[in-house]
Structure 1
């Protein structure tokens, strides 16, 4: 009897540790896709390409830097700013402007890489933190991005249009101001 109680406690503690690790590395509202954090790097922002792509200089340690590395924000998709409808362009530009405001050139950030290798388009996948704020999650919370973990993008236009409608009602932008 005593041995089974000890085993149960041991198993329970192990599950708690695993759960804590899982909570720390996933985007809060999308727990079924936990991020596998392989490396955490200090980095410097070079420029923002669009709402979910940036160029960083990674400090890899030992006074070595990987310069001008393209990085895609993991777990999200922002509307395209090239092609598409005026509505999707508008929400894409709003997302880009928000990211530019949060990550100006020269800003110091923390990049938590996913898989620590480049994806199919030659970009690192990462969660980006600046001043304790996780940019990936903030874009989702502010409805400037939609969840995306690879694979089919079926239904993404409808989700981007729903975000556009949300921001149009809020008065976040004027459609004719930027397009």
Structure 2
């Protein structure tokens, strides 16, 4: 049954999102806000988008990593972590299927030349939707 795996994945993502294991966000200029369209989901914290208002050379098939979310890695050595990563990717695919219009804010470049950004869907932060802040 997939429910226990999904629950574990969300718990792990929530723990990672809380800052317990997340590295500091890279310093650098903030490139503002832009509208984008999801092309595909890479994993639980990265998507590929097209930015229609930019020329294709800089706005087509751009990798964007969600700020504030660090999902388990699909290529981890641990089978349990890989299962959690697959569940996180499925959750992201459900929320952001190809063609979904999103807004990117707080855009920065990371050390892998991806964009780090807050991704919003209908005014809601996707990272918060996927891993709600732990409450009392």
Q: TM-score, normalised by structure 1?
A: 0.53
SS in 1 for 2:47: strand
Change (3 A) 1:113 1:67: farther
Task: Report the equivalent of 1:131.
Answer: 122
Alignment correspondent of 1:49: 42
Structure with the higher helix share, 1 or 2: 1
Deviation (angstroms), 1:83: 2.4
RMSD: 2.6
Aligned to 2:112: 121
Gaps of 5+ in 1: 1-28, 144-179
1:101 to 87, 94, 107: 94
What is the distance in 1 between the residues matched to 2:114 and 2:106?
A: 11
Q: Does structure 2 conserve the Cα–Cα contact (< 8 Å) formed by 1:43 and 1:110?
A: yes
In the superposition, the TM-score normalised over structure 2's length comes to: 0.69
- For 2:8, the equivalent position in structure 1 comes to none
2:52 to 38, 53, 59: 59
Distance 1:142 1:91, change over 3 A: farther
Unmatched segments (≥5 aa) in structure 2: 1-17
